[in-house]
Amino acid sequence: MTEQPRHVQVAVIGAGLAGLGAAVQLKRRGLHSFTVFEKAGDLGGTWRDNTYPGAGCDIPSHLYSYSFAPYRDSAVRYPRQPEVLAYLRRCADDHGLVPHLRYGTEITALRYDDAAGHWILGTADGTEHTADAVVTAVGQLSLPRYPDLPGLDEFAGTAFHTARWDHDHDLDGRDVAVIGTGSSAAQVVPEIAGRVRRLYVHQRSPNWVLPKPGERFHPLLSALLRTVPGAHGAYRGLLFRRSEAVLLPALRRGRAAALLAFMARRHLAGQVPDPELRARLTPPFAIGCKRIVLSSEYFPALARDNVELVTDPIARVTEKGIETRDGTLREVDTIIHATGFRTTEFLAPMEVSGSGGQRLDEVWRHGARAHLGIHVPGFPNLFLMYGPNTNLGHNSVTLTIEAQSDYVAQCVQLLSGHAERGERVVLDAREEALTAWQRRIDEGAARTVWTDDCTNWFKNADGTLTNNWPYKTALYRRLTARPDPAALRLLPAGRLPAR
C-alpha cells in the first residue's frame, strides 16, 4: 500500500542510536515538527539487526549511553544486545518519540528541489515526501558485506551473515565454517563452538585481542555503585578520561602502544600454549591498526578439539564446503559470514542529489568527506549524523553522536527562527571550511596506526581514512558546540549561488 505524501519540517532517516539521539535533541529545543522514517518495523538500528549468539557491546554501558539518558546498572558492566535494544526503546518511550516514528518507510532517494527550496524524499513504495531539512542517521555498520568468493552461489547448505542471523537454522551438531575474525566473529565463535560438531574459523588476517573484564561488576564495585552518591557519574568520567589519556595516544603511536601490545601478547601467550597456533594468531601490524578485539573466550574456543583455525586463503566455495588454496576441501553444511560491513559507503544505497542536481556519489568519488562529518557543501539543510570521520576508535561513539545531535538541533532551531519571521533560508557549509576540515583530518590520520599497512573498516580502497576521528573526543565536542557562522552560509531557500 502506498503512503500519503506529506511535508515535514524535519525528516530524520533511521531510528537507531543516532536517529533517536537527534530526535531527543530536537524535542529538547522545542522542535516538534519532525518524523523519523525507519525502513524496518522496529527501532534500534545495528542493535536490532545484530542478534547473533553472543552479540554484545564491548564498551561499558556507563559510557555507551547518552548523558541525558544514563544507563547505569550496578550489576552489568558490558550489556548484551537485548539490553542495549531495551535501553534504546526506553529512550524512545521516555522522551516521547514514539508518535514521531514511522516504520516500514525506506527512503531510497533524497533530492534537493532548487525551485521549491526543500528536499524531496523518495520511498521504496514510490511515495514522495518533502522536508525543509533532512537529518540522515543510517549508521556506518548497517550494510552487511558479503565476501566476493568464487562459487558462493553453488553452496548447497545454509549461509548467512552475522548481522542477518538465521534463528530458524539450528546449529547443534552441524559442521560450520565462520569466515572472518573481527569483533563479531570473536563473539560468535565461543558461543557456538560447544554446540556444533566441527567449526572451521577462516582467518584472512589476525587481530590483536585484549582480555575482556567480566560482563558483571565485582560484587564490591557493584555495592559501591549502588550505595555511593555520584559513583555512577564518577565511573563514567573515569572511563572517558582513561580512553582519552591512554587509548588515543596508543593509537597515535604514543608510548602507551607498547603497554597495550605487551598486554595483548601476554593474553595470547597465556591462552594459547601451542607456539604454532600462537604464531598464526600474532598480527604483523601495530596494535590498533584494526579495531582491537576484546575477548577472554575467543582464544580458548579456538583451542578446542572440534575447532580449527584455517589460515590458508580461501580459493573457492563449492557445493559441499570451502576449498582453500592448498587444495583442501572442508565440507560444511553452514557458512557464517562474519565479514563486516560496507562502512565507507555512508548514505548508500540512497541516491542523494543536492543543489543543481549534483550527485553525492560523484562528489564523494574519492572518498566521503563532510565538514564536522555533518555538512556537505552544495547539499543545503542536509545534516549527517555519524557521518565521515566521526567514528571513534578509542572511546564510545555515543559521545560524538550526542555532540552532533545537539549541534544539528541548533542548526534546525536557527532555520526555524527564520521561518517564524517569514524568511525561508537554508544552511550550507562553505567549501573553504570543508577544505580546512579535511586538512585537519588528513594530518591527524597520518599520525594514527589506522593508516598503517593493514586492512580495517576505517579507510577506503585508496587508504584514505574516511570513518574515524583521529583526535580527542573532547576536541570534537568543542568544535560542534555551536554552529560557526564563519563555516556556514545562510542563504535564501532556492538554487544556491555559485561557490
Taking residue 258's Cβ as centre, other Cβ atoms within 10 Å add up to 11
In the structure grid, which three cell numbers stand for residue 212, read together?
A: 575482556
- Cα dihedral 345, 347, 352, 355 sign: negative
Q: Smallest distance from the beta carbon of 196 to ligand N01, in angstroms?
A: 19
With CB under 6 A as the contact rule, which of the stretches 96-104, 110-118, 198-206, 269-277 interacts with ligand N01?
198-206
Interatomic CA distance for residues 20 and 479, integer angstroms: 22
Q: Give the residue, chosen from 8, 63, 179, 302, that forms a contact with ligand N01 under the rule CB under 6 A.
A: 179
The distance of Cα 132 from the centroid of its chain, to the nearest Å, equals 27
Can the peptide bond before residue 349 be classed as cis, meaning omega within 30 degrees of 0? yes
Q: Smallest distance from the beta carbon of 308 to ligand N01, in angstroms?
A: 15
Interatomic CA distance for residues 386 and 381, integer angstroms: 16
> Is residue 35 within the footprint of ligand N01 (CB under 6 A)?
no
Q: Report the residue number, 123 or 398, with the smaller CB distance to ligand N01.
A: 398
Q: Give the residue, chosen from 334, 339, 398, 468, that forms a contact with ligand N01 under the rule CB under 6 A.
A: 339
Q: Smallest distance from the beta carbon of 164 to ligand N01, in angstroms?
A: 12
Phi and psi for 473 in degrees, rounded to 5? Answer: -60, -35
Interatomic CA distance for residues 229 and 457, integer angstroms: 40
With CB under 6 A as the contact rule, which of the stretches 27-35, 36-44, 50-58, 85-93 interacts with ligand N01?
50-58
> Is residue 147 within the footprint of ligand N01 (CB under 6 A)?
yes
Q: Smallest distance from the beta carbon of 492 to ligand N01, in angstroms?
A: 42
Q: Check: CB of residue 250 under 8 Å from CB of residue 288.
A: yes
Interatomic CA distance for residues 298 and 189, integer angstroms: 7
Q: Smallest distance from the beta carbon of 145 to ligand N01, in angstroms?
A: 7
Q: How far is CA 145 from CA 138, 176, 290, in A?
A: 16, 19, 17
Q: Give the residue, chosen from 14, 44, 45, 182, that forms a contact with ligand N01 under the rule CB under 6 A.
A: 182
Q: Check: CB of residue 206 under 8 Å from CB of residue 285.
A: no
- Beta 101-102 vs 34-37: how paired, if at all? parallel
Q: Report the residue number, 81 or 105, with the smaller CB distance to ligand N01.
A: 81
> Is residue 204 within the footprint of ligand N01 (CB under 6 A)?
yes
With CB under 6 A as the contact rule, which of the stretches 127-135, 257-265, 267-275, 335-343 interacts with ligand N01?
335-343
Map the footprint of ligand N01 across residues 443-472, applying CB under 6 A: 455, 457
Q: Check: CB of residue 31 under 8 Å from CB of residue 416.
A: yes
> Is residue 302 within the footprint of ligand N01 (CB under 6 A)?
no
Interatomic CA distance for residues 5 and 120, integer angstroms: 10
Q: Smallest distance from the beta carbon of 377 to ligand N01, in angstroms?
A: 29
Cα–Cα nearest to 326, from 306, 311, 308, 309: 311
The interface mask with ligand N01, positions 262-301, x = CB under 6 A, is: -----------------------------x----------
> Is residue 184 within the footprint of ligand N01 (CB under 6 A)?
yes
Q: Give the residue, chosen from 12, 26, 31, 57, that forms a contact with ligand N01 under the rule CB under 6 A.
A: 57
> Is residue 14 within the footprint of ligand N01 (CB under 6 A)?
no
Instruction: Tell me which residues touch ligand N01 (CB under 6 A).
Output: 56-59, 141, 147-149, 179-185, 187, 202, 204-205, 291, 314, 338-340, 455, 457
